[in-house]
Amino acid sequence: MRRNNHHRELIALTLIPGLGKQRIKQLLNHFESAGDVFRAGVRQIRQVEGLGEAIANQIATFKQWKLVDDIMRKTKRAGARLVSYTCIEYPALLRQIYDSPSLLWVKGDVNILSDPGIAVVGTRSPDRYGREQAEIWSKKLLGQGLTVTSGLAYGVDTLAHRTALKYNGRTIAVLGSGIDWIYPERNGILARNIIKKGGAVISEFRPGTKPDAGNFPVRNRLVSGMSFGVLVIQSGVKGGSMITARSALDQNREVFVVPHNLNQEKGEGNNYLIRTGQGKLIQNTDDIINEISYQPSETKAEVIKDIPEWRTMNLPEFQKQICGYLANGSLHIDLLAEKSGKQAQDLLPELLELEIKEIVFQEAGKYFGLK
């Protein structure tokens, strides 16, 4: 109950205009708990550096407790857990950054939030090389006992999370919306599987928060902040991946980059990071391990590929053939049609049925892959 009260009062602090993440941390460092902040007088609050009379008065006269209780109810309804800045489960690396959030909403295993990990990021519409590299490098990182962190977006993010699930690894998805608002919606099944298989889905936004565009740069600093470093798989010179890379540099994190051909437009951002010395070109996992001073345990769990679920299911023969074609990676509908000797329009109903059975997923651009 005491922890619930602390979380309730901490939510209240986040609702006070002008207080901000850094000032909330200053208050928590000065007082023993968020409750003590509200029990303090204006004079005591003003003793905290950077807090003026206007904000001190807002804290002392706070009256939005009904809104706070509504947020608590929504948190419970979503099946989420609150992890505050002062909790032992709070990600250790994230606590180090300047603007770390005072509260996280978490679904899944909170104990993995401080596990050693690397963020894997990239474009929402990777080409074939980008898709291959996303799976290859995610698998390599998992094989070193590292957790893969990403943002649950389409493209590289989705591939990184799916690779972790495919090879018995652990992964953390960071949302740019409330914990009860999975975005993109089609990744709802992926989010549930992450939680089911020992990973975590987290957000610093209170329940009910829409996935507005301005939330994603804010989200990206968490992706980098809770990781040893950021691995950019494929990116243009603009976009979320570059924002995450810049956040990593600001947070004194490492930036690792997969090199691309010079005429590969989708990889221009990667080559730019290498050329300007902002990112380190990688060729093998040692290039990453040596930079982050991480020593994999000799007893670490090896990444072992499960027997694919589709092989154990009673599927029609043609659907089994489709799964077999997709076993080595995602394919465009046209290439899938070519391999199967069928027309694309004949494949789509079968693929839809496999999607409903949660065996196949569809990416942007009519690419299909196995979950």
Of all residues in the chain, what percent carry a pLDDT higher than 70? 95
Domains of the chain, residue spans: 2-77, 110-292, 309-370
Amino acid 168 reads: N
Listed residue (196, 211, 208, 241) closest to 223, CA to CA = 241
Q: How does pLDDT run across 2-45, given as a tens digit for each residue?
A: 456 789 999 999 999 888 888 898 898 888 888 899 998 888 98
Contact (Cβ atoms closer than 8 angstroms) between residue 176 and residue 253: no
Which top CATH class is 110-292? alpha beta
**To 5 degrees, how large is the angle CA 335–CA 341–CA 347?**
70
Which top CATH class is 309-370? mainly alpha
Q: How does pLDDT run across 145-173, given as a tens digit for each residue?
A: 999 999 999 999 999 999 999 998 999 99
* Exposed / middle / buried, residue 342 (Cβ in 10 Å: 0-12, 13-18, 19+): middle
pLDDT of residue 71 exceeding 90: yes
Q: H-helix or E-strand containing 368?
A: strand 367-370
May I ask the CATH architecture of the domain 2-77?
Orthogonal Bundle (1.10)
Q: How does pLDDT run across 320-362, given as a tens digit for each residue?
A: 889 888 887 888 888 889 888 888 888 999 999 888 887 888 8
